[in-house]
């Protein structure tokens, strides 16, 4: 019946989609976003589906190939199919990676990034760079930061620039793709780091002596000051 025809066409495509999705979502040694894995899987299914039609054409010409190449014709077709299959997998994974770490080209309307998120991401960046340096792994690359922390590339660059300008980290090459702490970890106080990430010092002159500034300062004094003399080194020893 018509349903059997639909099932015969849908089930193979669904199986291919599941295989691609599992490969992209679970195999990489990093956190992959669901949407990125979905984009990569769909692209892989489309390519494989189109190639399947092309394979049918090759199969119909198999007799001609056999006359010319003899027994090597079957080997050639097998190797070609394997090549296309693995190339499709790599392309799908690469597409998922590019989609996940694409620059944020759209300006979000409404509230900007929250101070909590800003402090979380900035502190995590500093901690990862500090941990790698303390453990003798040397400089931390931008790629590792992207893979481990799952932060969009443009935002990560903003944090790295801010931490560099404040003297917390320093680039180890001219291309600024790897970083190390700029001072001993036991001299980097979390209170100073979080204060800079919170941005209390960036309030412009027009906003000073207002209710908003008073609230921001109150939060900074009551919250950030509670970190006391805790340093990055102290925090690394606790985790």
**Those residues with Cβ within 8 angstroms of residue 122's Cβ, 6 or more apart along the chain or in another chain:** 159, 162, 163, 193, 197
Asked if residue 217 and residue 152 are part of one domain, the reply reads yes
What is the tens place of the pLDDT at every residue in 38-92?
999 999 999 998 888 887 777 666 666 666 666 676 777 788 888 989 999 999 9
Per-position DSSP letters for 29-58, written without gaps between them: SS---HHHHHHHHHHHHHHHHHHHHHHHHH
What is the tens place of the pLDDT at every residue in 7-47?
777 888 899 999 999 999 998 877 888 999 999 999 999 99
Domain count, the chain: 2
Confidence band of 107 (pLDDT split at 50, 70, 90): very low
Asked if residue 174 and residue 71 are part of one domain, the reply reads no
- DSSP annotation of 75 reads H
Compute the distance between CA of residue 239 and CA of residue 226 in angstroms, rounded to an integer.
19
In angstroms, how far is CA 111 from the centroid of its own chain?
Answer: 23
- Model pLDDT, residue 203: 42
Is the distance from CB of 217 to CB of 200 less than 8 angstroms? Answer: yes
- The tokens for 156 are 């990560």
Asked if residue 185 and residue 122 are part of one domain, the reply reads yes
* Domain coverage including residue 176: 115-237
Is the distance from CB of 108 to CB of 39 less than 8 angstroms? Answer: no
- Model pLDDT, residue 88: 93
- Model pLDDT, residue 202: 47
Asked if residue 219 and residue 159 are part of one domain, the reply reads yes
Nearest to 77 by CA among 66, 87, 86: 66
Judged on CB neighbours under 10 Å (0-12, 13-18, 19+), 26 is exposed
Percent above pLDDT 90 for the chain: 33
For the residues 181-208, what does the mean pLDDT come to? 73
**Those residues with Cβ within 8 angstroms of residue 171's Cβ, 6 or more apart along the chain or in another chain:** 164, 177, 178, 179
Compute the distance between CA of residue 143 and CA of residue 160 in angstroms, rounded to an integer.
13
In angstroms, how far is CA 67 from the centroid of its own chain?
Answer: 50
Asked if residue 91 and residue 119 are part of one domain, the reply reads no
CATH number of the domain at 200, please.
Answer: 1.10.10.10
């Amino acid at each position: 019946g018509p349903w059997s025809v639909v099932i015969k066409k849908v089930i193979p495509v669904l199986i291919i989609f599941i295989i691609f999705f599992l490969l992209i979502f679970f195999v990489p040694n990093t956190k992959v976003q669901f949407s990125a894995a979905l984009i990569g899987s769909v692209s892989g299914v489309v390519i494989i589906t189109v190639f399947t039609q092309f394979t049918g054409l090759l199969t119909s010409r198999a007799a001609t190939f056999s006359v010319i190449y003899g027994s090597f014709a079957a080997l050639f077709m097998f190797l070609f199919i394997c090549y296309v299959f693995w190339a499709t997998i790599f392309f799908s994974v690469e597409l998922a990676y590019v989609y996940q770490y694409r620059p944020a080209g759209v300006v979000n309307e409404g509230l900007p990034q929250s101070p909590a998120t800003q402090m979380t991401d900035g502190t995590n960046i500093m901690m990862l760079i500090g941990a790698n340096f303390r453990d003798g792994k040397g400089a931390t690359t931008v790629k590792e930061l992207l893979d481990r922390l799952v932060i969009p590339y443009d935002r990560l660059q903003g944090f790295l620039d801010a931490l560099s300008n404040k003297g917390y980290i320093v680039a180890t090459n001219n291309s600024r793709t790897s970083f190390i702490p700029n001072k001993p970890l036991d001299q980097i106080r979390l209170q100073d780091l979080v204060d800079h990430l919170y941005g209390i010092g960036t309030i412009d002159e027009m906003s000073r002596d207002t209710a908003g500034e008073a609230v921001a300062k109150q939060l900074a004094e009551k919250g950030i000051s509670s970190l006391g003399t805790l340093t990055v080194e102290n925090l690394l020893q606790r985790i």
